[in-house]
Amino acid sequence: MSDRQDVHPGVSREVLAQKFRAFIDPEYVISDDETLKPYECDGLSVYSEMPMLVVLPETVEQAQQVLRICHEERVPVVARGAGTGLCAGAMPHREGVVLSMAKFNRILEINPVARAARVQPGVRNLAISEAAGKYGLYYGPDPSSQIACTIGGNVAENSGGVHCLKYGLTVHNLLSVDLLTVEGERITLGSEGLDSCGMDLLALMTGSEGLLGIVTEVRVKLLPKPEVAQVVMAGFDSVQTAGDAVGAIIAEGIIPGGLEMMDSHAIVAAEAFAKAGYPTEAKALLLCEVDGTEEEVHEHIDAVESLFKRLGATSVRTSHNEEERARLWQGRKSAFPAVGRISPDYYCMDGTIPRGQLAHVLTEMERMSEACGLRVANVFHAGDGNLHPLILFDANVPGELEKTEDFGGRILELCVAVGGCITGEHGVGVEKIRQMPAQFNDLDIAQFHRIKAAFDPAGTLNPGKGIPTLRQCQEYRSLEMSIEPNSGAENQLHREGGHE
């Protein structure tokens, strides 16, 4: 686990809890170990730690007061939404407070004329589209966890989803964000207009993982529902052929609403779970959704079907109604839980590569999988090169978790080596902090620290996440240089370089 920032709270749990209970309902100031237990980790349960306290304020004023007290006492603060994150970004600090925004769960306004919604950070992603649906509108970013994940967490991690290829990530769908600084001051970044003067601090805040401020309100763009949407499902006899087909679609000038890929492990698991009608004999599966006007969709569907057949697809099937389309996507969106049925444990990775490198990277991952004896199920956003390899393992087998972490680290470093990056939408958190020096040099990381210090000089907002210390980077690089390629010490790089 990464080094902690230099925070030394001088106040006890009891005294701090008493201060909070003076203005927050005592029921929502949690201090007993049993009730604190559910907050010890987020969706990545590999990393966990019990917090000193958890507070659930109901108003912005209460959240401001929590931050002011913590700032005065130099107590770390970790913001938390629904806890569905997959990088240990919401893992607590053992000497800190978890500031849960779960009670900020109201949709404040749906403006169909401006095509915008104003919501609190605890509103579920899917709830925005449900509320906007009666106006023929919806919210574009759709993570697989959209039924549970919250918009505040989406802002923190710059979440994407199945349809981000055409409609963008969270950062492309925001108008403004209200947030609290570490001192409890309230500021607004962005505006109701499509642009605002000054530096684009809204983009800086998006994906900052709770390191710079606490989101209290979000204004998002809404999109009109497409007139028509259809999905083409194609099976292939190799992941290489399917990977090549992804680039071919974009080269045709077609920008799909979604373009997803699954390998054989994921296909079999998803079909057994969702009964979506997937070809279980296929080695790889592509789901390509085209949306727009009826004429546009029909033209592009014909082109996609022809392209898949020309590139050697072993099966091609197109949805003909909304029920069939939803069933094909249900299999994809159920893939993560479905994989849990074929392995005692799995470790979900997140990296991004250029589309042209898909076939090479998937082939290399298959080789690495065989070499270390761990299966990988691939389910990912192929259109924008955002990989989500699921490494299957058994945590009850001694050493297998460590081997899995090593393998995951090498996958991320492979992404960087081909021109990609170590995350696409899950964030860095604790999980990927060991690979940050693979992508950024010491000067880059020093600049990240300067930005962090500008917002949070004492380093009490979500300490130990996202940005490694320069000492960690130097240790990583010195160890990396001392290892010969393919030597037996290669795996050790990921354990020692990560500073567990």
The tens digit of pLDDT for each residue in 55-78 reads 999 999 999 999 999 999 999 999
Q: What is the pLDDT of residue 240?
A: 87
Q: Are 466 and 429 in contact (CB under 8 A)?
A: yes
Residue 331 corresponds to which amino acid? G
Q: Which residues contact 10 (CB under 8 A, 6 or more apart)?
A: 73, 74
Question: Which among 54, 288, 43, 15 is positioned nearest to 159, based on CA atoms?
Answer: 43
Q: Any idea how long the chain is?
A: 500
% of the chain at pLDDT higher than 70: 93
Q: Are 283 and 338 in contact (CB under 8 A)?
A: no
Q: What is the pLDDT of residue 482?
A: 55
Backbone angles phi, psi at 361, to 5 degrees: -65, -40
Question: Which among 89, 356, 349, 36 is positioned nearest to 209, based on CA atoms?
Answer: 89
Angle at CA of residue 51, ends 49 and 53, nearest 5°: 170
DSSP 146-192: TTT-BHHHHHHHT---TTHHHH--GGGGEEEEEEE-TT--EEEEE-S
Q: Are 2 and 471 in contact (CB under 8 A)?
A: no
Say whether 477 sits in a helix, a strand or coil.
helix
Q: Which helix (H) or strand (E) holds 118?
A: strand 116-119
Q: Are 90 and 78 in contact (CB under 8 A)?
A: yes
Q: What is the DSSP letter of 461?
A: B
Q: What is the pLDDT of residue 336?
A: 86
Question: Tokens in use for 57?
Answer: 């304020």
Residue segments in the chain with a per-residue pLDDT below the cut of 70? 1-9, 474, 477-500
Question: Tokens in use for 249?
Answer: 């679609």
Write down all domains in the chain, each with its CATH number in brackets: 13-100 (3.30.43.10), 107-224 (3.30.465.10), 228-339 (3.30.70.2190), 348-377+387-496 (no CATH)
Question: Tokens in use for 463?
Answer: 């300490």
Q: Which residues contact 70 (CB under 8 A, 6 or more apart)?
A: 76, 77, 96, 97, 460
Q: Which residues contact 337 (CB under 8 A, 6 or more apart)?
A: 273
Question: What is the pTM assigned to this prediction?
Answer: 0.91
Say whether 201 sits in a helix, a strand or coil.
helix
Q: What is the pLDDT of residue 1?
A: 38
pLDDT digits (tens, 9 = 90+) for 443-484: 999 999 999 999 999 999 999 999 998 777 767 766 665 544
